[in-house]
Structure 1
Amino acid sequence: MLIFSIWLFTVVASTYLFAKVSGSLSLVRPNMISIIYYYSFLISSYIGGLLIALGIDDYYMIKRMDHEEYRIIGFVLLTILMILFPLTQLVVGRILGFNASLEFDRYLHEPVRTSVDKNKRIFKLAFGALAAISVLAVAFTLLKTNTVPIFELLKGNTAELAKMRIEAARGFSGVSVYIRNIFGLALTPVLSIIAFVYATQSKGLYWKVVFFMLFVSSVLISIYDLAKSPIFFYLIMLLLAAVYTGRLKLNWRKISVYILAGSVLLVIMYVAIQGVTEVGSFLAYNSGPVGRIILAQISPFFLHLDTFSHSISLLEVKGLPSFIAKIFDVEQVRSARMVMENVFPENIDKGTGGVLNTIFLGEAFATFGYLGVIVAIIYIAIVIQLLYIVFLRLPKTPVVLALFIYFTINIPRTLVGGVSDFFFNPIWILLTVVLGGLFVLEGYFHIIWRFVMNKGKKRVKA
């Protein structure tokens, strides 16, 4: 009863704090912070954390945990996360004079700036070149994959889908990894959002055709390895684009329809991909889709605590981003893979074991222990709140809006993936640089060009 009381009080207090720092926790007014709260923290982490702390999870991963005390220790750390994270963001907002409610409301109703008349041809050429590169990167990914799981599923070859999924996800190395991850997985969906905004605002045939090509490519790259979450996140990106441009007004009836449609699609994917047919598997809280959502994501956190307290020593600098690890002449190691190797060695032997990703606290603990957990919470909360404030205050152009939506979806996903990506993420950096260049072409290239030309004329006269 005490654990549940603490959990309930924490949820109430955390909800209040997140509402203050986000501007809105309403499902009809979604934003980066509200998605983090609902998806990354409450649903994917804290609900399952309660079940594990109470010892009523009956989940196969937790049964592999050797030391039961980490049920309570993990729950305490999650409780600290739920309070300290939004509290840190609140402090950052107060320092910067950020009024979340007013600024988010203004952003939501502000029209999108789509005028690129001064340099329309240059912008279209640059965008078309990037779109072509992205489509080719998707084609390269499919051709480079020895056995494409989605094609095998459509052909009825379902015998070794689990192994094919692992091979499709991990069968890239060297330059091909960057081509797939940066230009295929990351850039293609973002470019499709930009094209979607221009297509809905300008009604131009060019943007409709480009959007269709990028949409098809984005769907293919999202489902080719039969991962279930990417396609849902991509569709949510499109939904956010429609909401932020004023093309869609959400209400509870529409949200109910979307949730129902998403649930049906999820069930179909579970039946087709994993062969789950028993009704009880879909209704049980510790198996099927429900178990995947509330327990599968958080259970590895408790395994991290157990593993790196007793079986494996802390990673220290080996758990930091690769470029930092190389400074100390060590190779980066991802804790999620090490936990999989330690807890489920039989899956590694069979070739079906990937990684046990979890809330970023897991990798933070594996790297620097309990101190690493507290530092990571404060650091990541500051970074995310600064990003949120910056995007709400930047000009609302299609390029900036697409980048904002990308981070709105990918930051919550990264929070349940690891901590090192928040110290150095080459994909985020490169994507920001590329779209920063598009942003200049979108609205400011003619100003820069005029400035350069005027400088040149003055030098000639001198």
Structure 2
Amino acid sequence: MLDVLIWLIVLVASTLMFRYAAGTLSWKAPNLVSIVYYYSFLLSSFIGALLIALGMDDYYMIRKLFRPEEYRQIGFFVVSFVMIVFPLAMVVVSRLCGFEARQEFRAYLQKPLSPLTGATGDQVFYAFLALSLLSFAAIAYMIWKTPTIPVFALLTGTDESLAALRIEASRHFAGNVLVRNIFAITLTPLLSFIAYLFAELTHEWRWKLLFICLFVGAVFVNVYDLAKSPIFFYVMMFFLIRIYIGKTRLSAVKLALYGGVGAAVLVGMYIVIQGVQDATTFLSYNKGPIGRMILAQIAPTFLHLNLFGEALPFLYGKSLPSILTGLFDVENVRSARLVMAHVFPERIEDGTGGVLNTLFVAEAYANFGYVGIVIGTLYVAVVTQLLYIGFLRLPKNPLFLSLFVYFSINIPRTLVGGFTDFLFNPTWVLLVALFGGMALWLRVQGDLRAWFATKRRITDEG
């Protein structure tokens, strides 16, 4: 009963602080911070943490705990700590930056879409056409270097396990992983959003045609390995794009309709990909899609807390980005992979086990203990809120809006994926450098063109 009371108090306090930091938690106007609250914390972490603390989870991962009663409580208090400290840090950042979330987010929604400053239509189109050709080449490279494309195997029929094919496609990729992850899997969907926004802004057929080609490529890279979540997140990003430019207005009826369609598609994917046909699996709170949402993401946090410092030694930075560990000739390891290998070694042996991703503080703990949880929570909260403030204050053009929507979905996903990605994420760094550099280059080109035009006019008049 005490756990329930603590859970309710934490829920109310956390909700109020998240609403202040976000400006609104309305489902009709989602934003980066509200998605973090609903998806990363409430749905993926906090509900499941209470069930585990109460011993009501009956979940296969939690059965692997030793001294379960002790670590059920430790895990619950760690998640409750994050639920309070994370939004509190965001509120402090907002106050220090003079950020009025409600007013600034509302103003951003009402602001019209604008073109890139200083650039001509042809310059912009050919620049993004070149990037699009690069992403198509990366997709071809990904297909070439992947042993078996799971979606092709599904369409043509195969006797192999689709789950095993998924792991093989990910872990046995024979090419450069950064080329695949950045230029194919990440860049293609992002370019499709940019092309869509330019098509809406200019109404030019060339942008519409480019968008169609990029859309096909984006759908492929989101379903090629039969992972269930990427295509859903891609669709969510499209909805956000349309909400932010005023093309879509959500209502309770629309939300119910879209949710029903999404649930039906998800059930279909479970049936086709994983062969699940038992109806009780879909209705059970600890199995199937529901169990995947409320327990599968948070249960590994309890395993991390239980294993590291007990059965496994602390990593002391070994799971930091490989670019950092390589400087000290230290082998890079991810805590989520170590936990999978320790708890479910049979899955590693038969090729169906990957990693047990979970709330970011688990990896912080695996490296630096409880100090890592405190510092990691503060650091990630500050980074998240600064990104939110920064994007709301940038010009609302197709490039920056697409990046804003990309981070609005991928920050929440990364929060339940790991901690070290917030220290150095090559994909994020390259995207910001690439599109920031492109915006700067186009701006300089426009300024130089204006300067030469002014100088020529002065010369002619003289």
Q: Where on the TM-score scale, by shorter chain, does this alignment land: which range?
A: over 0.9
- The match for 1:148 is 149
State the alpha-carbon separation in 2 of the partners of residues 172 and 440 from structure 1.
35
1:17-49 Cα offsets, whole Å, 9 max, x none, are 100000110000100000000000000011111
- The match for 1:86 is 87
1:322-351 Cα offsets, whole Å, 9 max, x none, are 222223321221000000110100111111
1:119/1:445 contact within 8 Å kept: no
- The match for 1:64 is 64
- The match for 2:99 is 98
Once the two structures are superposed, the pairs formed by residues 325-340 of structure 1 within 5 Å of their partners are 325-340=325-340
1:150/1:224 contact within 8 Å kept: yes
2:113/2:396 contact within 8 Å kept: yes
2:35/2:412 contact within 8 Å kept: yes
- The match for 1:119 is 120
Matched, 1:204 2:196: no
Matched, 1:22 2:22: yes
1:316-375 Cα offsets, whole Å, 9 max, x none, are 021222222223321221000000110100111111111010010110000000000010
State the alpha-carbon separation in 2 of the partners of residues 130 and 64 from structure 1.
47
- The match for 2:419 is 419
1:30-72 Cα offsets, whole Å, 9 max, x none, are 0000000000000001111111111110111111111211110
**RMSD of aligned residue pairs (Cα, Å):** 1.9
Matched, 1:215 2:215: yes
Q: Unaligned stretches of 5+ in structure 1?
A: 457-462
Matched, 1:161 2:174: no
1:122/1:441 contact within 8 Å kept: no
TM-score, normalisation: structure 2: 0.96
State the alpha-carbon separation in 2 of the partners of residues 401 and 428 from structure 1.
15
1:92-143 Cα offsets, whole Å, 9 max, x none, are 1001100000000000110010266852212111100001111221222122
1:152/1:158 contact within 8 Å kept: no
- The match for 1:320 is 320
State the alpha-carbon separation in 2 of the partners of residues 99 and 445 from structure 1.
34
- The match for 1:381 is 381
1:123/1:441 contact within 8 Å kept: no
Which letter does structure 1 place at the counterpart of 2:125?
K
Once the two structures are superposed, the pairs formed by residues 171-186 of structure 1 within 5 Å of their partners are 171-172=172-173, 176-186=176-186
State the alpha-carbon separation in 1 of the partners of residues 436 and 220 from structure 2.
26
- Change in 2 beyond 3 A, CA 1:356/1:455: farther
2:315/2:367 contact within 8 Å kept: yes
1:223/1:231 contact within 8 Å kept: yes
Once the two structures are superposed, the pairs formed by residues 361-372 of structure 1 within 5 Å of their partners are 361-372=361-372
1:281-335 Cα offsets, whole Å, 9 max, x none, are 0000000000011111111111111110311110002122222222332122100
Once the two structures are superposed, the pairs formed by residues 231-380 of structure 1 within 5 Å of their partners are 231-380=231-380
State the alpha-carbon separation in 2 of the partners of residues 117 and 429 from structure 1.
25
1:45/1:359 contact within 8 Å kept: yes
Q: Unaligned stretches of 5+ in structure 2?
A: 457-462
Which letter does structure 1 place at the counterpart of 2:132?
A
2:169/2:225 contact within 8 Å kept: yes
- The match for 2:108 is 107
State the alpha-carbon separation in 1 of the partners of residues 234 and 19 from structure 2.
25
State the alpha-carbon separation in 2 of the partners of residues 179 and 239 from structure 1.
27
1:400/1:439 contact within 8 Å kept: no
Q: Return 147-156 or 365-374, whichever deviates more.
A: 147-156
Q: Return 81-90 or 439-448, whichever deviates more.
A: 439-448
- The match for 1:135 is 136
1:66-87 Cα offsets, whole Å, 9 max, x none, are 1211110010000010010000
- The match for 1:42 is 42
State the alpha-carbon separation in 1 of the partners of residues 254 and 443 from structure 2.
35
Q: Return 443-452 or 235-244, whichever deviates more.
A: 443-452
SS in 2 for 1:311: coil
2:148/2:165 contact within 8 Å kept: yes
State the alpha-carbon separation in 2 of the partners of residues 115 and 371 from structure 1.
44
State the alpha-carbon separation in 2 of the partners of residues 171 and 448 from structure 1.
48
- The match for 1:445 is 445
State the alpha-carbon separation in 1 of the partners of residues 452 and 54 from structure 2.
67
2:364/2:419 contact within 8 Å kept: yes
Shift of residue 201 of structure 1?
2.4
Shift of residue 441 of structure 1?
5.1
- Change in 2 beyond 3 A, CA 1:72/1:248: same
- Change in 2 beyond 3 A, CA 1:417/1:451: farther
2:18/2:34 contact within 8 Å kept: yes
Which letter does structure 2 place at the counterpart of 1:164?
L
State the alpha-carbon separation in 1 of the partners of residues 326 and 369 from structure 2.
21
State the alpha-carbon separation in 2 of the partners of residues 27 and 342 from structure 1.
40
1:399/1:438 contact within 8 Å kept: no
TM-score, normalisation: structure 1: 0.96
State the alpha-carbon separation in 2 of the partners of residues 72 and 41 from structure 1.
18
- The match for 1:459 is none
Which letter does structure 1 place at the counterpart of 2:44?
S
- Change in 2 beyond 3 A, CA 1:328/1:454: farther
Shift of residue 398 of structure 1?
0.3
1:395-429 Cα offsets, whole Å, 9 max, x none, are 11000000111100110011111100101111100
2:119/2:442 contact within 8 Å kept: no
State the alpha-carbon separation in 1 of the partners of residues 450 and 424 from structure 2.
36
1:317/1:328 contact within 8 Å kept: no
